[in-house]
Amino acid sequence: MAQTPQGAFYNIMRKAFDEASADGFTGTDEASLIERSGHEVMVVMGSARNIKITTPADMELAEFFLSQKK
């Protein structure tokens, strides 16, 4: 249940992408490339409300979530 965006310092992510490209390695996501490059990846809690908006119905759901008080 990984969510995006995944984040890292630019220099770490750039190095991970460069190494993978040079080796012809295709990872599953940014975290897999960063791990392959020798860096630790940590997991932070996400939210079921972090949805991907691809349809008008998704936009309606997002607007509903935004209108709710926490």
Indicate the pTM of the whole model: 0.67
8: DSSP letter = -
pLDDT band, residue 2 (cuts 50/70/90): confident
**CA-wise closest residue to 16 among 5, 4, 29:** 29
Taking CA atoms, 39 is separated from 8, 33, 49, in Å, by 10, 9, 29
**pLDDT value at residue 70:** 65
pLDDT digits (tens, 9 = 90+) for 24-61: 999 999 999 999 999 999 988 888 888 889 999 999 99
| pLDDT of the residue at 38 | 97
